[in-house]
Amino acid sequence: MDSKKNAKKIIKRAKPEKSKEEPLVLQTLRGMKDILPSDQPYWEQVRRISERLSRDYGFLRLDTPIVEFSNLFTRSIGEGTDIVEKEMYTFITRGGDKVALRPELTAGNCRSFIQNGMNVLSKPVKIFSTGPVYRYDRPQEGRYREHFQVNFDAFGEQDPILDAQMIQIAHRIIQTLGIKSVQMQVNSIGCQVCRKDYKELLVNYLESKKSKLCQDCKRRMDTNPLRVLDCKEDKCSQVAALAPQSVDHLCEECRTHFKTLLEYLDELDLPYIINPHLVRGLDYYTKTVFEIWSSAEEGKKLSLGGGGRYDKLIKMMGGEDTPAIGFAFGVERVIAEMKRVQAKPYKIPRPKVFLAQLGNLAKKKSLRLFSELEKNGILTAESFGRGSLKSQLRIANKLGVEFTLILGQKESLDGTVIVKNMTTGAQETVSMDKLVDLIKKKLKADNVVVYHN
Ligand code: HAM
């Protein structure tokens, strides 16, 4: 009886809203945008390069849901951070759960690592993930409410060699994408022990300069004093310039860790800048933090990617003590930089063959023939909706294909196809069952790359 009542209630609640009162707004939400076909070659390039390098460096792909319990993010990213304080898309579900759209990928990866017992896998467990993330920030250039990240996390290794390898991967991805000039910024913000002393020192210093800080930073002094160091306001930068630096106040272990990391980077010939003001906007970091900055002129500089160690996060979430490190790129920002430096996007393969048909029987047969060509890796274009040969040949010409296959009434009955060389204009009639081999041979002879490369 009760469950029937509940079911009724749910059905009643799930009724769609009346569309009468609200006009249909045919627009993406502010800070969100479509990725149009014309932009896809850039996206494809980023996907291909990052996926390939993730495999080369031994990463396994993990996809987690876009929606998680909101306290997964508030606890890991930190209550005093901008992301949690101002930027989370949080809502209550119909079932009463407090959930949020993920503002980043690492918290979900850690949840999945613990939930799925990945601690038994051989270490380091290297995880690659990519997808959209959501931050309700004020939209501006390079800052969106929906953006995509390419994310690398590695669990179970505290040796700084992994920090160096992560920075190397980040650098390699960017270089492979054709962005040759970037700045690798590194810093160490210490562990929970030495950071506590450093924070005290920093707060004391900031107290003495309080009147010179912006309103936000005055508040940050209590909630997240390290963030004062990377405030973009001029007056705060001036205060930050003379502030005590975390690298000068590291404990022995953190100092050795950072020094060894720098030695590895030197060994790799990987240029870096030690930036004592680099603190990152998420609370879970310990020891190494790093960012990759574009070489765009000052003021327009945005970080293309960033990350660091988070050795205490898995334990804080309730898992086994597991050191970890990771980083993420913002795909939109990387693509904007690719365009700025005129890096090449992915060249989407174009069809080299056009299939033209004439008459009802040919039209019927052409569907199967097209599929035969596709199965054999021959990228073919068609315009099945058109009847006239002239208009089909016009399209073939426009596409710049090498060959047009013409299937007319006679050919359909004979089991043949006319192969027209579009450069020379020469035509030959070929038996249908020899067609695929012949086209493959011809394309190979012309050194044409077929679709399935
Ligand atoms: P994050 O620095 O907050 O780090 O974001 C990574 C990258 O995402 C940034 O460097 C930037 O390129 C891009 N990004 C951030 N916010 C926006 C936005 N509103 N619009 C466009 N692009 C944006 C993280 O999210 C960490 N989870 C990275 C990490 C992985 N740390 C350890 N593992």
Domain containing 367 — which CATH number? 3.40.50.800
> What mean pLDDT do residues 230-247 have?
92
Quick one: which atom of ligand 1 is closest to the CA of 307?
Answer: 31
pLDDT at res. 453: 35
Ligand 1 centroid vs 305 CA: distance in angstroms? 6
For ligand 1, residues with CB inside 6 Å are 104-106, 135, 137, 142-144, 147, 149, 151, 153, 281-282, 303-307, 326-330, 332-333
Quick one: which atom of ligand 1 is closest to the CA of 83?
Answer: 3
> What mean pLDDT do residues 270-281 have?
94
pLDDT at res. 13: 53
3-class DSSP assignment, residue 134: strand
Angle between helices 40-56 and 160-176 (to 10 degrees): 150
State percent of the chain over pLDDT 90: 86
Domain end point (choices 272, 305, 340) = 340
Q: Does 421 lie in the same domain as 334?
A: no
Higher pLDDT, 93 or 16: 93
- CA dihedral of residues 203, 209, 212, 214 (deg, nearest 10): 10
**324 domain-assigned:** yes
Which of the listed residues 112, 127, 147, 329 should we mutate to test ligand 1's pocket, taking the one with most ligand atoms within 8 A of CB? Answer: 147
DSSP strand pairing (303-309 vs 324-330):
antiparallel
Q: Does 437 lie in the same domain as 313?
A: no
- Please state the three-class secondary structure of 332-362 as a single string: HHHHHHHHHCCCCCCCCCCCCEEEEECCHHH
Average pLDDT, the chain: 92
pLDDT at res. 259: 98
Domain end point (choices 340, 364, 387) = 340
**68 domain-assigned:** yes
pLDDT in tens, 300-326: 678 999 999 999 999 999 999 999 999
**83 domain-assigned:** yes
Q: Does 361 lie in the same domain as 260?
A: no
Range name among 22-26, 165-169, 249-253 with the lowest pLDDT average: 22-26
Ligand 1 centroid vs 278 CA: distance in angstroms? 14
**336 domain-assigned:** yes
Q: Does 268 lie in the same domain as 412?
A: no
**7 domain-assigned:** no
Residue 6 has pLDDT above 60, yes or no: no
pLDDT at res. 433: 93
Ligand 1 centroid vs 303 CA: distance in angstroms? 8
Domain end point (choices 281, 313, 340) = 340
**What confidence tier does 22 reach under pLDDT thresholds 50, 70, 90?**
confident
pLDDT at res. 300: 67
**422 domain-assigned:** yes
pLDDT in tens, 129-173: 999 999 999 999 999 999 999 999 999 999 999 999 999 999 999
Residue 446 has pLDDT above 70, yes or no: no
pLDDT in tens, 318-374: 999 999 999 999 999 999 999 999 999 999 899 999 999 999 999 999 999 999 999
Domain containing 257 — which CATH number? 3.30.930.10
Ligand 1 centroid vs 318 CA: distance in angstroms? 25
Q: Does 262 lie in the same domain as 185?
A: yes
Furthest CA-CA distance within the chain = 93
Ligand 1 centroid vs 81 CA: distance in angstroms? 13
Question: If 0-12 CB within 10 Å is exposed, 13-18 middle and 19+ buried, where does residue 222 land?
Answer: exposed
pLDDT at res. 11: 43
**206 domain-assigned:** no
Q: Does 285 lie in the same domain as 147?
A: yes
pLDDT in tens, 38-88: 999 999 999 999 999 999 999 999 999 999 999 999 999 998 888 998 999
Ligand 1 centroid vs 328 CA: distance in angstroms? 6
pLDDT at res. 302: 82
Count of structural domains within the chain: 2
Q: Whose CA is nearest to atom 2 of ligand 1?
A: 306
pLDDT at res. 3: 44
pLDDT at res. 8: 46
Q: Whose CA is nearest to atom 14 of ligand 1?
A: 330
Residue 111 has pLDDT above 60, yes or no: yes
**Parent domain of 270:** 40-191+251-340
- Positive or negative, the CA dihedral 186, 190, 191, 195 is negative
Residue 15 has pLDDT above 60, yes or no: no
The answer, as to whether pTM is greater than 0.95, is no
User: Residue 250's closest CA among 309, 206, 290, 199?
Assistant: 199
Residue 19 has pLDDT above 60, yes or no: no
Range name among 219-223, 311-315, 327-331, 377-381 with the lowest pLDDT average: 219-223
> What mean pLDDT do residues 287-311 have?
89
Residue 14 has pLDDT above 80, yes or no: no
DSSP strand pairing (353-357 vs 380-382):
parallel
Quick one: which atom of ligand 1 is closest to the CA of 142?
Answer: 21
> Per the structure block, which two tokens stand in for 90?
């949080």
Ligand 1 centroid vs 172 CA: distance in angstroms? 18
**208 domain-assigned:** no
Residue 275 has pLDDT above 60, yes or no: yes
Ligand 1 centroid vs 366 CA: distance in angstroms? 49
